[in-house]
Chains A and B, each alone.
Chain A
Amino acid sequence: MTSKKRRELDLDSPEDREELRQYLKKSMKDLFNPEALPDFEEKGVLSGDGEALLSETEEDIYLQEIDEYSPEERRQRLKLHKQDNDSDLKK
């Protein structure tokens, strides 16, 4: 859903530590608002589908993330799809 360039932070670097600190301070302002607390009780499950997670494989997750494919992987998928079609036609 986003194509922003990735960069891992190096927490041994003072600059990156400061970048993280500033990012979190800004996030705090965006998130915590005493005037807009949830109008439901935060008791029990808030998110997640535990049963689905247990049956989900890495491959399932990977197949959902088309934007994470390399160009080679995209080509490979297209090629495989064509082969499937070809074999269907032969039948």
Chain B
Amino acid sequence: MIEQRKPDYAAVKGQYEALREDSRNFAYEVLAPVLTNKRSQAILKSTLTFSGITVNCINELRKWEMSGLRRVAWDWDKVLKTYRPKPKRFELSIWHEKHWLCSASIGKPTVKGSKLRLDLIESNPNGSSIDGLVIDINLICYKAYAKVIGATELRIMNPVNEIVRDYYLSKKGFSYSQKENFCFRKV
């Protein structure tokens, strides 16, 4: 009998890095060529870039931390240190014109992978060209990854306030768990 070997950590890490990249690419592909932001300005899809939390992104996040404009202050460095060893995590940074970081987010599947949690979303405290679109763009990318890894539920953990929570709930299929303070929908 041939013993089946479990793939090692490096192989799993590489596999999920590729799935993250593919998920972001598929989500990008389905975005409309022109999007309209909250100020009714047309934003060309070609000016947006999706990426993971790269070194450039970390540098920009540090600038956000020093801006004094954040409503809630957590240490992204510590968050990333906690998430980096989790190979199945999902991460997304959205850039305008390749240099303006519009949003960063991170999440992970539950232990057995049946749900994908969007744990943190932060948009640029100075504002961005995609104001009004940040949540939707994040959700389409997380839905892509959830579908790819076979998760059957997407959760948005700890909405920052009731207004934001109600906006999530205005999206088709979303419900709210008051007990654990997350919005969720089937994938």
Contact = CB atoms under 8 A, between A and B. Distances in A.
Given A6-B152, A54-B78, A41 B131 contact: yes
A81 to B, nearest CB: 20
Interface string A1-36: 111111111010000010011011101101110101
B163 interface: yes
Given A30-B171, A46-B122, A8 B164 contact: no
Given A6-B150, A44-B69, A50 B111 contact: no
B26 A68 contact: no
Contacts, number: 181
B121 A65 contact: no
B57 interface: no
Interface residues of A, number: 48
A7 B172 CA distance: 23
B26 A20 contact: yes
A71 interface: no
Nearest to A58: B111
A87 interface: no
Interface string B96-117: 0000000100000011111100
Contacts of A28: 30-32, 140
Nearest to B134: A42
Contact of B71 (A6, A8, A11, A45): A45
